[in-house]
A and B are shown apart, each in its own frame.
Chain A
Amino acid sequence: MTHYGLFFQFHFYLFGLIAVASALAFVTRQSPVAAALWLVNTMFCLSALFVMLDAQFLGAIQVLVYAGAIMVVFLFVVMLLNLGHPSEVADIKGLGTRLAAGAVGLAMLAEVAVLARQKLPPLLPDLPEGANVVTPVAGPLFREYLLPFEITSVLLLVAIIGAVVLAKRRA
């Protein structure tokens, strides 16, 4: 899709703005459960953006891994530690820290605005209509990046063992 229609652009902006608004709601919620659900909303919108940027496979993986698995683990820990009550953790820091954090955020945005002046190279040609969308990702993943991909499995194994050892109750 080299020529983006108005409909497409409208939905791109819509999902982007919903993602940003949900992220803002997420950092301002007191209750961890409400925050987690807003973050799930952000992740769903990001998944829609991935699909619109021709990364359909990653869009599906985003929903499955982030919204489906990682956030469930977060909510499970919130439930396990019984932290769902907002009054118990009134946790937004004082005004000075908030102003400093806002300044840091604005500085990062300004930096990006400067970087956005850079000229981007032209878009790559699109896949032919009806082409398989997973194959172009699988190619480099299993050729150039085969060793990192295999090391990832070791990383996940270590993470599983580490999580069990850390969270196990001492006898």
Chain B
Amino acid sequence: MVPEALFFSAVLFAIGVVGVLTRRNAIIIFMCVELMLNAVNLSFVAFSKLYGMTGQVFVIFVMSVAAAEAAVGLAIIISIFRHHETVDLKNINLLKG
């Protein structure tokens, strides 16, 4: 059971990485990050079958950090949208040389 769970976790993480690299909509990129966090949570839960309950405790921490990150990140997206009238990352290039 554990190797299969780790395999699914790896596949989901890779899909999240591909999404972050290929999409331009800031909100979708953000959701891809959430998918990656979820994949890591699955790994933690699977390893908690082998190494004890600490993995599940860490999942709780990851979830609370993800909630905080979603709140702040979406607030940042809203304030960027006020400035640029878009969430397309193509147009948000202030730091580009």
B64–A55 CB distance below 8 A? no
Proximity string of chain A (25-53) to chain B, C-beta cutoff 8 Å, 1 when within and 0 when not: 01100001001100100110010011011
How many A residues touch B, CB cutoff 8 Å? 82
State which residues 19-71 of B face A: CB under 8 Å. 19, 21-25, 27-28, 30-32, 34-35, 38, 41-42, 45-46, 48-54, 56-57, 59-61, 63-71
Using a Cβ cutoff of 8 Å, how many contacts connect chains A and B? 227
Residues from chain A with a CB closer than 8 A to the CB of B5 are 12, 16, 49, 53
Residues from chain A with a CB closer than 8 A to the CB of B23 are 27, 91-93
Shortest C-beta distance, A59 to chain B (Å), equals: 9
Would you give 18 A-B contacts (Cβ < 8 Å), ordered by A? A26-B35, A39-B34, A50-B41, A53-B48, A55-B56, A66-B34, A92-B22, A101-B17, A102-B18, A104-B18, A120-B2, A122-B50, A123-B2, A159-B71, A162-B71, A162-B72, A163-B75, A169-B82
